[in-house]
Amino acid sequence: GEDVEQSLFLSVREGDSSVINCTYTDSSSTYLYWYKQEPGAGLQLLTYIFSNMDMKQDQRLTVLLNKKDKHLSLRIADTQTGDSAIYFCAETMRAAGNKLTFGGGTRVLVKP
């Protein structure tokens, strides 16, 4: 199957770390992505990880991939109010022609 699951909501205090979790079901995933969507805007690619990696760091963002458990997480260090948005996890699978399948999104609210 192509299910990608995320929790609906996360509240975090400014300056703390945020961790957004995602699970997927298909072990043939090739790339896994994190997108950010601010109100009224499109989807902005934040980062991605290839399925043969287990970690990727990009400034304040750290992606962890546990292939055994089919679990992906995005950690945002020193969360700022500008990080308030909806975050989408997505996967591509060679078997599915590399189309992108999205989770339902996690709404992150950063409180001052």
Binding site for other proteins (CB under 8 A): 30-31, 33, 35, 41-45, 88, 90, 92, 94, 97-105
Residue 112 CB, shortest distance to other proteins, in Å, is 27
Residue 7 CB, shortest distance to other proteins, in Å, is 14
> Which whole-number Å values give the CA distances from 28 to 4, 80, 103, 112, in the listed order?
13, 35, 17, 41
Q: What is the 3-state secondary structure (H, E, C) of 52-87?
A: CCCEEEECCEEEEEECCCCEEEEEECCCCHHHCEEE
Query: Closer to other proteins at the Cβ: 43 or 53?
Result: 43
Query: Closer to other proteins at the Cβ: 10 or 100?
Result: 100
Query: Closer to other proteins at the Cβ: 79 or 93?
Result: 93
Query: Closer to other proteins at the Cβ: 18 or 106?
Result: 106
Report d(CA 48, CA 27) in Å as an integer. Answer: 16
DSSP state of 16: S
Residue 99 CB, shortest distance to other proteins, in Å, is 6
Residue 88 CB, shortest distance to other proteins, in Å, is 7
* 41 CB-near residues (< 8 Å, 6+ apart): none
